Amino acid sequence: MDELKCIDNKEIFIEVLHLAIDYLIGNINKQQTLRSSHKFGFQNAHDFLLVTQRISNYYKDLSLAKFTFTPFSCFNPEMSGLVPSVLAARQSEIKKHLEQYYSKTESIIESFEWDTSFIFGDSNFVGNIKQITTLNFSFSNLKLQNRLVFEMNNEKLNDFIHLLETVLA
């Protein structure tokens, strides 16, 4: 990010931040980014591409709530303060793009069903009484639809619930 220290013009810095968001959401590609490097005063186009990709990934991580904003130490406070304001201005575009991207590549749970059954014996032993819970997940992405059905006893169900609570907390 030290490459951006050379930009002392606030408007150009904002344009570079917007360009990084355009790169993130797919409005521009690598070649277009490389061609625009000289417009912003960069001597090495590949350094500019690297900076654009890093800012783009930073915005992606912020949007996915992987971490909270921390000011860049390599910029003065005024320039560093522009980073979250540009993100806020384009947040809806980024969110829409990330939702579309992940819906194409990741499976999404569409429905969730559960059922509890009591078994009062089986062919091995009449007194074999147990409670079984059946979980049924329907999930899909753009290419295929699947169902995942599994059964578990009360102990495994409690472990599963605890795991979900831990992951979602």
Tens digits of per-residue pLDDT, 42-78? 888 888 898 899 889 888 888 877 666 666 666 677 7
| Spans of all domains in the chain | 2-105, 108-168
The predicted model gives 96-112 an average pLDDT of: 73
Return the residue matching tokens 């059905």: 149
- Range list of β-strands (E), the chain: 108-120, 129-140, 145-153
> Which pair of tokens denotes residue 50?
């690297």
pTM score, two decimals? 0.60
Q: What is the pLDDT of residue 135?
A: 81
* 66 vs 113: which has the higher pLDDT: 113
Q: Contact at 8 Å (CB) between 138 and 108? A: no
